[in-house]
Chain A
């Protein structure tokens, strides 16, 4: 959507050195060249916003999509920058797109602020910017504004990206984490823990070979399909850091319900199960980047499951549990073995056990 008349095309600067130096953050020509060559050339060639300090939106055009603005921000500091199934750029776009989408919003615009450690290879930066541009195109959003800072070696870990997103929520969509009622079904849209396992394996210090790919994906299409089939959907959360265990605890707490899940219904890839088994990790706490936890009223469970499963990103969807009247804020799991245990919030980070 073009909101301003386009000025004549200007000439974009170019970078001719192999690595980022502090001068690329100095505010002068080197910085302009870096921004032009690496970011603007792939994000929005000739976009009028590129010349301004801010993106500008036509309110009437925004209002055509719905009646509420959704606004979110997230920083990405993943190590390593590239991993099987994605990289920090793709993550930074889809992560923010998904934060908008789980509120029912149609994602429209993103900002992109980068903090670069001096010495970073221009080619790697270029590859990540390109990955962001591809991801934005796939998700149907435009990167309209940004910022670039370069810091001394050691002051950041290669590259940090912050994306902020703006979207619009259609009038009929009312989702809230505090609206879940006893009897509601709890659904997930597929295999859990792939992203967390892929990142851990990619760090290389485990000496474990794995073919697990990050599940990093934009979920607004899936969510559109879900909300069309199950308009009574209570809430949607993306199960990123802290995994589904954290999301379930947040829902139980906010809605004042108890949630019981069935271990046998939790979709897990064999490799991820084996991975967790070896390292003593609990897959319920592993991060996902393309998975949502959905609460729907009992009468819409079947419709919601069918809609999710019909979408390519929801083929492995499963009803993993129910909300109930039990102790408010409590999440429990019926184990595959027939026992029952509490699923609590994660304390600190998961650390591999020694034996």
Chain B
């Protein structure tokens, strides 16, 4: 596969891993504890597991799987809201595929579908708009989910609906923004992170400037990384290089996709349609100020939250669930009390078990679950 296989070259990987080992040995911290590097984005978590990267790295480097899977951090109450909208007569509720299985307090969208709600998987919000156009007697709602990566596409769809005068279309906006959450994690007293792999797709939209505070204020290096395995290894190498030279900067490994200034037309569409919420609830992390967006008043008629009276009930995460600790990197997935027992991909209790980008599901699927493997896994990470 052209333009993909080049980034999956085994020999280049071996050479890079050797350089990473050499650099890690030179870094003072590794004499007392492993270096903690957080990949913020779920896409990176997926690559790390799919290619078995953790096992290739020296034990002096520990990867902490951050909160960047939008499906995982969606609170239960919002899923209940989705179900409530989907079960209204006349509604066609459209969603990206991996949100189908996220558990609400009573059911997931998949169960709602089985119970008779008209829930349909789409691959783009524009597909949902087309459904609205073709079903003028139905209300089509699109489940707007994701970080800045997917925000422009739902914003542009709302603008298109306005331009085409389509009134039976609305977005249930659950878009979130990563920067306040990285800040909240850095302010958290119970963890020590030495560097960040920056989210590639989000940065393609917002550029690299919004991360400057991580280097300036918190003195931590961040490297915006691509998603192929060599991208990830090279970015880890770049972080180590910074640490070994006593630097803390925002660097861009993913230059082939990410312009430092971001994407102006995308940002303009987002700014036109959305504004920051005062706060937004994250599963496992709680409420974080300015971490979500909502539809602006000018576009209220495309806002499902205003169009339908949604219950908007706050549901506490299950008590036994330790997603929050895992999200912040305080606990490894398999150290959670219910990992692999009460909480499995089949019957996910916690958000991180739901999506293949969630750290727990990735461990369960690709890393093993049986207790006797714990030690080998701990040693390997």
Q: Which residues of A contact B (CB under 8 A)?
A: 205-207, 270, 273-274, 277, 279-280, 327, 330, 335-342, 344, 347-348, 351-355
Contact = CB atoms under 8 A, between A and B. Distances in A.
B1 A277 contact: yes
B373 to A, nearest CB: 8
A338 B56 contact: yes
Size band of the B side of the interface? 35 or more
B100 A351 contact: yes
Nearest to B110: A348
Interface string B340-381: 000011100000000111000000111110100000000000
Contacts of A353: 46, 96-98, 355-357
B53 interface: yes
Given A338-B10, A344-B364, A352 B52 contact: no
B173 to A, nearest CB: 15
Given A337-B10, A347-B346, A354 B97 contact: yes
B238 interface: no
Contacts of A335: 50-52
A355 B150 contact: yes
Given A339-B55, A340-B55, A341-B50, A352 B10 contact: no
B310 interface: no
- Nearest 6 A/B pairs, CB to CB: A339-B52, A351-B97, A354-B96, A347-B345, A352-B97, A341-B52
Contacts of B367: 341-342
B97 A336 contact: no
Contacts of B364: 344
A355 B51 contact: no
Contact of B346 (A337, A340, A348): A348
Contact of B149 (A338, A339, A355): A355
Interface in B242-277: none
Given A277-B4, A348-B101, A339 B53 contact: yes
Given A335-B51, A354-B145, 18 more contacts: A206-B123, A277-B1, A327-B370, A335-B50, A338-B14, A339-B55, A339-B229, A341-B52, A342-B366, A344-B365, A352-B96, A353-B356, A354-B96, A354-B98, A354-B99, A354-B146, A354-B150, A355-B43
Contacts of A206: 123
Given A337-B51, A338-B14, A352 B145 contact: no
Secondary structure type dominating chain A contacts? loop
Nearest to A338: B10
Contacts, number: 96
Contacts of B166: none
Interface string B1-18: 100100010100110000
B75 interface: no
Nearest to A347: B345
A339 B48 CA distance: 10
Interface in B69-113: 70-71, 96-101
B346 A355 contact: no
Contact of A341 (B8, B49, B370): B49
B101 to A, nearest CB: 6
Contacts of B370: 327
B10 A336 contact: yes
B289 interface: no
A354 B97 CA distance: 7
Interface in B308-340: none
Contacts of A205: 121-123, 127
B240 to A, nearest CB: 19
B101 A351 contact: yes
B201 interface: yes
B366 A341 contact: yes
Nearest to A340: B52
Contacts of A207: 123, 127
A108 to B, nearest CB: 39
A167 to B, nearest CB: 35
B98 A352 contact: yes
B360 to A, nearest CB: 12
Nearest to A268: B1
Nearest to A343: B366
